[in-house]
Amino acid sequence: MIPVGVVVAFVAVFGLVIGSFLNVVIWRLPRRESVVRPASRCPSCGERVRAIDNVPVVSWFALGGRCRGCGCRISARYPVVELLTGVIFGLVAWRVGLAWELPAFLYLAAVGVALAFIDIDVKRLPDALTLPSYPIGAALLVAAALADQEPGRLLRAGVGLVALYGFYFLLAILKPGGMGFGDVKLAGVLGMFLGFLGWGPLIVGAFLAFVLGGVGGIALMTAGSAGRKTKIPFGPYMVAGALVAVLVGAELAHLYTSAALG
């Protein structure tokens, strides 16, 4: 039996590597560029990034946050995305363990990070990431459920998908402009994964998205970064709520029901 700590450490390091790739996705996908070719280059001088300068997090600090060729500053968000992905991967591995569903939730974590940052940048959740997540996520969850001999989890995943997609679709129809259809498509993906975990995580994840969104909106308005009519991307709050639900959703749901029932 492999110790949990070893699994978490290995997955976290793997997350750093995935985070490096996600930086490419976040930059290129909204611009409809290939995420495979050409190789990473300095956005200022166009010089190809050497392999030694492409080590997640470490290379950015070793170069002082500058291009080796032209000395142009490189955004600190690159190591932030890499480190954040590594931390999230480690947390998911800690929660799920070396289980069949681990690949599914690592995939969700990677897609969630990419979508959150893209939404912050361009206020849009591209179909190129959300739509493929339905068949890919379904395939990974089906494999996990069958391997664990728990096909009933797939029914919950299907109900979660339909319920959360339908709820967001209704919001988008009732208040045009308040909720984008990119959010609706993402909601179905999150509902599928959270429903797979259970009713508690599904409800907690759905509820926390609006709580976090409300708190974030108030914070931005207080700081003067947004007004009442400013369009604030909701995708990051949906992803954050889902992450919390994956990690501690069952416990939060149990605490609430215990307090409500006395």
pLDDT of residue 51: 81
> Range with the lowest mean pLDDT among 27-31, 112-116, 200-204?
27-31
With 80 as the cut, is the pLDDT of residue 36 above it? Answer: yes
- DSSP of the chain: ---HHHHHHHHHHHHHHHHHHHHHHHHHGGGT--SSSS--B-TTT-PBPPGGG-STTHHHHHTTTB-TTT--B--THHHHHHHHHHHHHHHHHHHH-S-TTHHHHHHHHHHHHHHHHHHHHHS---HHHHHHHHHHHHHHHHHHHHHTT-THHHHHHHHHHHHHHHHHHHHHHHSTTTS-HHHHHHHHHHHHHHHHH-HHHHHHHHHHHHHHHHHHHHHHHHTTS--TT-----HHHHHHHHHHHHHHHHHHHHHHHHHH--
Interval 77-88 mean pLDDT: 97
| pLDDT tens digits, 86-128 | 999 999 999 999 999 999 999 999 999 999 999 999 999 999 9
Confidence of residue 6 (pLDDT cuts 50, 70, 90): very high
Return mean pLDDT, the chain. Answer: 92
| pLDDT tens digits, 145-185 | 999 999 999 999 999 999 999 999 999 998 877 788 999 99
Confidence of residue 262 (pLDDT cuts 50, 70, 90): low
pLDDT of residue 222: 86
pLDDT of residue 139: 98
| pLDDT tens digits, 207-241 | 999 999 999 988 888 887 777 777 889 999 999 99
